[in-house]
Structure 1
């Protein structure tokens, strides 16, 4: 089961001026959906003023309390089984994709984890009609700060985990090799179970004189030496066939 993770409140004055590309995309999904840009601006100010308590990230949900009494959450749909299979396949294409995620970076190949416009849904106990309201917008900004540092939180938000992805990628790489090894073992066992066929009869001894094929002499090689070496080889091969042992 995927566990929730808690993070302490950001102190007043906290701010990230330069977001990662994945943090920027997270905020774009919120800002491009907002019906009132003034609410998102107020939300950014709330985030920097330290008015949000500890944040909890759990499958499909980021939650926190704003100004001490506003229960605020931002939700996103977990990955479907098909979406998860696609993500595992993309992560398995190159070992560097998973390594980058383990190192705190999100490869573009795994952008399936990011929400797009309309994917984030805001919930707040305030009476503001905006979606998101200023409190939910503030929570989105601080969530972006967390995701900037640890993009694997996107896996948690999508109802999965980094451990699960690591295991799936390892199994994805190992499955073909295991299948081949199993098939090879089966084929070898079958081959050794077959009876040994009798050896073919020896050919009749040669009676005519040995004949050499015409050999084109390479440059720098004495034709007589090459012809003599070939004749010696033919004679030894013939005696081996006749006597059954090397001359």
Structure 2
């Protein structure tokens, strides 16, 4: 229902797809778009994407509102979605001719939690690729997913706005954008760290330093095994 007390007419999935395609065709002439869609039931398939959704639906404030956005995402209605530091912006097609503008603000991870998780992470993560793949010990995973004290934002750390006339706290366009973010995290998990104002290097700094030292050590050993021209003459009499 709109804020004016009127019910929107039912729009089929086919019509939603047609409206989205038309909007993309029109806007693509003047700007670069990053459309998002999902063809699977679960929407996300990687640890970061699935955990993003799991965190959101775990809060009662969101659990009843998020499902409305799944259909919009699957019909390609999220025609543009950008994840940047502390912010998600999106264009989502709806009942009107022009797409609605969605803005979602995510608070940065508080320093205390950041430092605690960095310390745990540096002791457990074996490589940057392992972190990006969601491959880490179960105790670290629990710390990442901890409510209000983990990596993922709680409702009090999320603010959203949409230009649609829906009076609900979380409209379907915002919900679709939140689901669309999970798809982006599937493709580029490093975006999560950017979104929360963190440097991924902080979480694997020790690992990277150790790997660099090992490379330098091997290079030094290899260099020491190379005989100088003078030593070669002395050894082989040439």
Which residue number in structure 1 is paired with residue 186 of structure 2? 148
- Partner SS, residue 79 of structure 2: coil
- Could you say which structure has the greater relative contact order, defined with CA pairs below 8 angstroms and 6 or more residues apart? 2
Matched, 1:40 2:66: yes
Alignment partners' CA distance in 2, 1:40 and 1:110: 22
Alignment partners' CA distance in 2, 1:36 and 1:128: 18
1:97-120: CA deviations, max 9, x gaps?
A: 644114x22641544221235433
Please tell me whether the aligned partners of residues 16 and 145 of structure 1 are also in contact (alpha carbons under 8 angstroms). no
Distance 1:75 1:167, change over 3 A: same
Equivalent residues in 2 for 1:161-240, closer than 5 Å: 161-167=199-205, 170=208
Alignment partners' CA distance in 2, 1:73 and 1:106: 31
Matched, 1:125 2:156: no
Which residue number in structure 2 is paired with residue 105 of structure 1? 134
Q: TM-score, normalised by structure 2?
A: 0.57
How many corresponding residue pairs?
166
Give structure 1 stretches of 5+ with no counterpart: 1-5, 175-247
1:106-150: CA deviations, max 9, x gaps?
A: 641544221235433222112222222110000011111222343
Please tell me whether the aligned partners of residues 35 and 131 of structure 1 are also in contact (alpha carbons under 8 angstroms). no
1:122-179: CA deviations, max 9, x gaps?
A: 22112222222110000011111222343322211110232444446656999xxxxx
Larger radius of gyration: 1
C-alpha RMSD over aligned residues: 3.2
Q: TM-score, normalised by structure 1?
A: 0.55
Which residue number in structure 1 is paired with residue 25 of structure 2? none
Alignment partners' CA distance in 1, 2:200 and 2:119: 15
Distance 1:137 1:106, change over 3 A: farther
- Partner SS, residue 96 of structure 1: coil
Please tell me whether the aligned partners of residues 91 and 98 of structure 1 are also in contact (alpha carbons under 8 angstroms). no
Distance 1:117 1:28, change over 3 A: farther
Please tell me whether the aligned partners of residues 9 and 55 of structure 1 are also in contact (alpha carbons under 8 angstroms). yes
